[in-house]
Structure 1
């Protein structure tokens, strides 16, 4: 890096600043929470000046919303987009890859304003996630796919919240419960084909 590439305090600037800001935000929000992350700390970790940060984002609210938009824009394509898994297997695979530190739950807990862009995005994501589960439950032949989709979404969110609060792994237990729910919701004759 040449002297021309450095800002007034020796901080890196220019290309890549937006990505560094988003990466630092995701890391800090995950590690210490949204409300505990200050803009000065964020700038230091991202190696940008406050001026640079505000050139890319109007403020912390916009930054939080953008971090959530980037987290999983296609709603777990590594599970729901897989054609090598049966619908039943997709329903259970979400417990293997779902993030134990769900940023959508964290944002909803830390941001009290239900109209805040991050809260709205968190709500929309959770609804879309439940809809993907419902679609997979329907494909698997569940008697009541809406109920199964909602049960699995609730189970995932509960495991994520429990893991975050207790700093423990709750997804193994949740996956075992999910298998019982799925097996009870899908008729045996359908399961052999799914």
Structure 2
């Protein structure tokens, strides 16, 4: 092992340290927020030296961006890529959020950072755009008359439910799902008598 592969006191750096730092960031950013979490605390929880933390991440901004980038890289693939559900069912499944699921870190990061040019803010925007895109694609597949509009409505509704759940410390997703069902049914053309469903 070369000296470059060792951290302080000869402890091995590498993937293990990086993963511990990211794991600590997930816990601390969720529990106390990004702004209240310092690199000293992150290093202590991750059991790495501050020097090692900075060898893996140039600074806290880079760590925050990586934390968000890794949170849901497939943009709700567990919902939108399901083949056992119809497109309409997939649209509704996006609102079936288990209570144990951490609430949207992208909303929390955007609110805390106040900087639209921060790398994490860009990841948050990209993710939110991708969610609306997945809703739009699925709405198109379901036969919606205006899939872009329905996609944006459902994305906004999902974000609203996440924010309300966070603020009120309650579960707003069942109500959001009921509203989503009305929006979806209104956006899908009713089959005329004598015409096959699309």
**TM-score when scaled to structure 1?**
0.90
- 130-139 or 37-46, larger mean C-alpha shift: 37-46
1:168 corresponds to which residue? 170
Per-residue displacement from partner, 1:136-189 (whole Å, max 9, x unpaired)? 001001111111100100000001011111111111111111111111111222
SS at match of 1:168: coil
Matched residues in 2 for 1:102 and 1:124: separation? 14
Q: Output the CA distance in 1 between the equivalents of 2:85 and 2:108.
A: 30
TM-score normalised over the length of structure 2: 0.88
Which position in structure 1 is the counterpart of 2:94?
94
1:79-124 CA-partner distances (Å, limit 9, x unpaired) = 1111111110110001114855101101110111111110011001
Within-5 A mapping of 1:52-63: 52-63=52-63
Residue in 2 that maps onto 1:177: 179
State the match for 1:31 in structure 2.
Answer: 31
Gaps of 5+ in 1: none
Distance 2:183 2:102 in 1: 21
Q: In structure 1, how many angstroms separate the alpha carbons of the residues matched to 2:184 and 2:36?
A: 39
Is 1:84 the counterpart of 2:84? The answer is: yes
Paired residues, number: 187
Match of residue 13 from structure 2:
14
Of 111, 116, 128, 1:126 maps to 128
